[in-house]
Amino acid sequence: MSRCVFATVLSVLAVLVMLGGGLVALFVILSSLGAAGVAARFAPGAVTAGVAGAGLLGGFFILLVAALQALFLWAGAQLINVLLSIEGRTREAAALQRAMLAELRRIAAGAPAPGR
């Protein structure tokens, strides 16, 4: 099972990327709302709406990129698990074929030659 460590690391990294992206997006959104509140004292309403909207849009894009990156990391982990599963099944099939070939050789060694 130690060969699946890399897949586990990728899965944990996907979770950490999503948590980090969520925290950064939350910081951007709250910062933009704070900046819009400060701008409301000195500028008309359209400026504050623009500042708040830009922060919300930026936070959304940060969450989107973090989700996509986490999805790619998770997909990589799943791909590793699938490939290791295929490799294990291939080894089992090869062992079964070797056993069948040995059995056929044993049977052929004890059987009389054709035509005798």
Mean pLDDT is highest, among 3-17, 29-43, 54-68, 84-98, for 54-68
Which pLDDT does position 113 carry in this prediction?
A: 61
Residue 76 domain-assigned (yes or no): yes
CA pseudo-torsion sign 55, 58, 64, 70:
negative
- In angstroms, rounded to a whole number, what is the distance separating the alpha carbons of residues 14 and 78? 12
Q: Please tell me the total count of domains within the chain.
A: 1
Residue 50 domain-assigned (yes or no): yes
Share of the chain above pLDDT 70, in %: 92
Which pLDDT does position 24 carry in this prediction?
A: 94
Residue 102 domain-assigned (yes or no): yes
Expressed as residue numbers, the domain containing 36 is: 2-110
Residue 116 domain-assigned (yes or no): no
Residue 78 domain-assigned (yes or no): yes
The answer to whether 21 and 67 have CB atoms below 8 angstroms apart is yes
Residue 115 domain-assigned (yes or no): no
Q: What is the pLDDT of residues 59-76, one digit of tens each?
A: 999 999 999 999 999 999
- In angstroms, rounded to a whole number, what is the distance separating the alpha carbons of residues 76 and 78? 5
116: amino acid identity, one letter:
R
